[in-house]
Amino acid sequence: QVQLVESGGGVVQAGASLRLSCADSGRTFSSHAMGWFRQAPGKERDFVAAISWSGESTEYADSVKGRFTISRDNAKNMVYLQMNSLKPEDTAVYYCAGRAPYASRVSHDYRDWGQGTQVTVSS
């Protein structure tokens, strides 16, 4: 069973940066797209970013484009989300999602999910 474990969340002030990491225990990591989603209190889980199996193709939500960068290291089975210029509205639980056929914005396309890591941005 594939496990995704996120790390790197925390409490920061507006304008700061954080890097989230996601470790994938699966043996087919390099064959699948990966993504990040987030869920704020009382809201639905929203797409943040996705990356193809090779890393050549990426997708971003409009709200994070230009501030967040998704990347992956297939040799280490890791995917990252570099978050810069954080805003209070970025406060949410961030989830790593795995084993999608392509860099999808749709949560149903992902078969594996992590437990989430909390990111809190204070004003």
Band (pLDDT 50/70/90 cuts) for residue 108 is very high
Q: E strands of the chain, at which residues?
A: 4-7, 10-13, 18-24, 33-39, 45-51, 58-60, 68-73, 78-83, 92-100, 112-113, 117-122
Mean pLDDT, the chain, integer: 96
Q: What is the pLDDT of residues 76-99, one digit of tens each?
A: 999 999 999 999 999 999 999 999
| Average pLDDT of span 104-109 | 97
Alpha-carbon span 23 to 79, nearest angstrom: 7
Specify the pLDDT at position 26: 87
| Average pLDDT of span 32-54 | 97
Specify the pLDDT at position 89: 97
Band (pLDDT 50/70/90 cuts) for residue 27 is confident
